[in-house]
Amino acid sequence: MGHGRGTGDRSAFGAGGNPSSAYRPRRLRSTPAMRRLTAETRLHPADLVLPMFVREGLTDAAPIGSMPGVQQHSLDSFRRALAEAAEAGVGGVMLFGVPETRDAEGSQATDPDGILNVATRVAIEEVGDELVVQTDLCLDEFTDHGHCGVLAKDGSVDNDATLERYRDMALAQAEAGSHLLGLSGMMDGQVAVVREALEAEGHRNTAVLAYAAKFASAFYGPFREAVDSQLVGDRRTYQMDNGNRREALREVELDIAEGADIVMVKPAMSYLDVLADVAATSSVPVWAYQISGEYAMIEAAAANGWINREAAIDESVLAIKRAGADAILTYWAVELADRLHATGI
Ligand code: PBG
């Protein structure tokens, strides 16, 4: 330490030498083989998790306008897409259900015949040995008001009443066979309540992925169409303020203390500093979710011919890994896994 480049006799040229001609970082960029050998970050198909939407009552897959290339699946198209994901060698799938009927409590979330629980059983049957089958544990797809929890009389989201719903939802998902519960609702104490219920009911190997640092983001926009969200207003009383970096560490610390097996930062691209902070301090794996709006922006720019689509996708996901994500949820998981295989990983 303390010796700068070319200072005194530590210079490659000795005292008085001209360091500018000796220090050439470009040497390591000079050939594809050299670049490959000196690359600091690599993606692997197993790092990628594919989020999937299954909609009750569909006979064929339906496109999502704001997410070109992503579909709401029927149970049949879902089976085919699961097989494709397993074939591509991704690490897992994250399932979202879109129910036909909604109510204030989100009853379909805890009904064993609710679409998400049905889809989970299908996924376990089809690819349960090859992939980590994960389920979104949140009420927003199932409530008629679109909030992630149940409402108090004054219309606010009632934290502790919601925890009771999450507990029942966790048990329903574990019973359907989910390997990993994605707690995305940002209620205080949700990890503790879910972990305790799983232990009490003998689901000791059902793991918990805590969306620990989830920010109230404009980039969730296209997802609202994907799940036919009924939300009016925003989620700012439970999701985090966009500018809060320190608070993310507090959320992560609490979730780990409550028993989270994995923590998540979400969205990804606008929060890479937060991701790097969490990766530097977390004692459990850290994942990131490249969300719907991040997907839509790149697809839209590419469709206009403004950016190179594949290069932009690759760069965006690599950057999330570089910032510290051990795994990444991305709607490009299968495409990217196929490309990684094709280019030789
Ligand atoms: C909550 C949930 C959301 C997303 C994943 N889980 C919506 C939200 O918090 O508003 C967003 C994912 C995306 O935008 O791709 N169930």
What does the pLDDT look like over 217-267, one tens digit per residue?
Answer: 999 999 988 898 999 899 999 999 999 999 999 999 999 999 999 999 999
Looking at ligand 1, which residue's alpha carbon is closest to its atom 8? 220
Q: What is the pLDDT of residues 178-199, one digit of tens each?
A: 999 999 999 999 999 999 999 9
Q: Closest Cα partner for 181 from 133, 216, 222, 221? A: 133
* Ligand 1 atom at minimal distance to the Cα of residue 182: 6
- Residue 266 bears catalytic tag: yes
Average pLDDT on 77-88 reads 98
Question: Which residues of the chain form beta strands (DSSP E)?
Answer: 48-55, 62-63, 71-73, 92-98, 132-137, 180-183, 207-214, 262-266, 286-289, 327-329
Q: CA–CA separation, 244 vs 256, rounded Å?
A: 19
Q: How far apart are CA 161 and CA 240, in angstroms?
A: 20
**Ligand 1 lined by 223 (C-beta under 6 Å):** yes
What's the pTM?
A: 0.94
- Specify whether the backbone of 12 is left (phi greater than 0), alpha (psi in -120 to 50) or beta: alpha
> What are the residue ranges spanned by the domains of the chain?
45-342
Q: For residue 311, is pLDDT > 60?
A: yes
Query: Measured between alpha carbons, how far is residue 276 from residues 62, 208, 244 in Å?
Result: 37, 21, 14
Query: Under CATH, what is the fold of the domain 45-342?
Result: TIM Barrel (3.20.20)
DSSP 3-state of 138: coil
Residue 86 is predicted with a pLDDT of: 98
Task: Tell me how far the alpha carbon of residue 102 lies from the centroid of ligand 1, in angstroms.
Answer: 17
Spatial neighbors of 264 by CB under 8 A, at least 6 apart, are 182, 209, 210, 211, 212, 213, 214, 286, 287, 288, 289
Q: Please give the share of the chain, as a percent, with pLDDT higher than 70.
A: 94
**What integer pLDDT is reported at residue 3 of this predicted model?**
45
153 counts as catalytic: no
Cα–Cα distance between 264 and 330 in angstroms, integer?
A: 13
Q: Which of 147, 165, 266, 321 is catalytic?
A: 266
User: In angstroms, how far apart are the furthest CA atoms of the chain?
Assistant: 78
